[in-house]
Structure 1
Amino acid sequence: MVEQLGLRERKKQLTRRLISDTAIDLFLASGFDSVSVAEVADAAEVSKRTLFAYFPTKEDLVVHRYAHHEGENAEVVRRRTARQTPLIALRAHFLDGLLRRDPVTGLNDDPNQIALYAMVTATPSLSARLLQFYEGSERALVQELVTGDGADELIARLAAAQIVATQRTLLMDNIRRLTNGTRAVDAYPDAVADARKAFKLLRSGLAEFGLG
């Protein structure tokens, strides 16, 4: 029974990936607003009902590439070492993401990824959906800081808002670098310097509360 469940889950993941890849290929070729959900379903050879079972909105076909990171900040804080503060753990994780060219840092210059970045930033509905992802990330981080670290709720909310806003600002700056033609390898030193500067600024405000 366990093996059957494992196989079913793998099939679901493959179907989800097929639908998303098909949608993104169509969107990049013709424009997000020019392609209907019905066209995506036809191209992926699934029904609209199946498509919506995996992706509740058209925007989710694209933004889910980022949305699976929604609980990542909270998870990083939860799994940090005993010697790390929440902010130090998040800083290390972001710097590692830059090194690995994690798309969520904005520093991935694969041609399809750059085209995806450009489409998301140029399409209001996609930008709005991406903002919802950041709001979800913020809520999850607040919960972890309060329940896992015993932080005051107001302090936790303020800290999470600043941390997530900083990550988003760094992401957008890196996207601008790459969409303006800079290679990731060339942008990397400035991206690291900016991240270090940003987290240093955060630490100066959060250290007093044991979060920096």
Structure 2
Amino acid sequence: MDVDGGSRGGDVAGGAGAGRSGDERLGLRERKKRLTYQAVSDAAIALFLERGFDQVSVAEVAAAAGISKPTLFRYFPAKEDLALHRFADHEDESARVVAGRSGTESPLDALHRNFLDGLDRRDPVTGLCDVPEVLAYQRMLYAAPSLAAGMSAYRSRSEAALAAALGGRMRDRLAAGQIVAVLRVLALENWRRMDAGERADRVYGEAVEAAALAFAQLRDGLGECG
């Protein structure tokens, strides 16, 4: 991720764009911020994978990213956030899928479709990804207790967002808890098989079948939630 290039682009646009709208300038600032987030997280993960999460200090990450430690903490309040940043875009994914579904599609059908699409793309979030770098990253997550705790908090926020998208009632909160748990079990089983040396292409068919079984059980138990 070329943060410097992104910064130069933002500066040039800002200097020459006196006629730009506030929304456009905000878009440039947001883009620069996202690029910085990604670059710092990438630098941190490279160090974590090389030496282990607990063996790398925040000061070392800041130095590798070319920023000061106080600047780093403005982007990432905790060291664990540096490693878990890759999940940021997925935290409310289930909620977005439910909110954006067509009027004729049920929440469970939309979530099932989205998970199948992830399997087809070998999305690491589904666990069905045998890229060595991805497997190394996932091993790091499971090896560090503090990162495991961070993942638990991530799932809690994902569950809350999904419950709100379903309607926010008690039954919606119960349904969201079950759905998030099922997605976690499906992904964990896929990851375990990848970690054991199986190939994603060979496991794909069984992963699709497992997802079909899981969502069938959800439909039996939850009915038409949302």
TM-score, length-scaled by structure 2: 0.87
Aligned to 2:189: 173
| C-alpha displacement of 1:192 | 1.0
Aligned to 2:8: none
**CA displacement 1:183-210 (0-9 Å, x = unmatched):** 1111211111111111111010111xx2
1:68 aligned counterpart, secondary structure = helix
Look up the equivalent residue of 2:196 and give its one-letter code: N
1:80 aligned counterpart, secondary structure = coil
Determine the C-alpha separation between the residues in 2 that align with 1:206 and 1:24: 39
Aligned to 2:116: 95
Determine the C-alpha separation between the residues in 1 that align with 2:54 and 2:186: 27
Aligned to 1:82: 103
Determine the C-alpha separation between the residues in 2 that align with 1:154 and 1:10: 38
**CA displacement 1:73-114 (0-9 Å, x = unmatched):** 111111111111111110110111110111111112221111
Aligned to 2:14: none
Alignment of 1:1-212 (within 5 A): 1-2=20-21, 3-146=24-167, 153-207=169-223, 210-211=224-225
Q: Which sections of structure 1, spanning at least 5 residues, go unmatched?
A: 148-152
Look up the equivalent residue of 2:44 and give its one-letter code: A
Please tell me the root mean square deviation across aligned C-alpha atoms, in Å: 1.4
Count of residues paired in the alignment: 205
Determine the C-alpha separation between the residues in 2 that align with 1:16 and 1:123: 22
Q: Which moved more, 1:1-10 or 1:86-95?
A: 1-10
Percent sequence identity over aligned pairs: 54
Determine the C-alpha separation between the residues in 1 that align with 2:197 and 2:222: 36
Look up the equivalent residue of 1:137 and give its one-letter code: S
2:101 aligned counterpart, secondary structure = coil
Look up the equivalent residue of 1:183 and give its one-letter code: R
Determine the C-alpha separation between the residues in 2 that align with 1:141 and 1:89: 12
Determine the C-alpha separation between the residues in 2 that align with 1:134 and 1:67: 11
1:83 aligned counterpart, secondary structure = coil
2:71 aligned counterpart, secondary structure = helix
Aligned to 1:150: none
| C-alpha displacement of 1:9 | 2.1
Q: Which sections of structure 2, spanning at least 5 residues, go unmatched?
A: 1-19
Look up the equivalent residue of 2:195 and give its one-letter code: T
**Which runs of structure 1 show a deviation greater than 4 angstroms over 4 or more consecutive aligned residues?**
none
Name which one, 1 or 2, has greater alpha-carbon Rg.
Answer: 2
1:19 aligned counterpart, secondary structure = helix
**CA displacement 1:20-67 (0-9 Å, x = unmatched):** 110000000000000000100011111111111111111111112113
Look up the equivalent residue of 1:79 and give its one-letter code: G
| C-alpha displacement of 1:6 | 2.8
2:216 aligned counterpart, secondary structure = helix
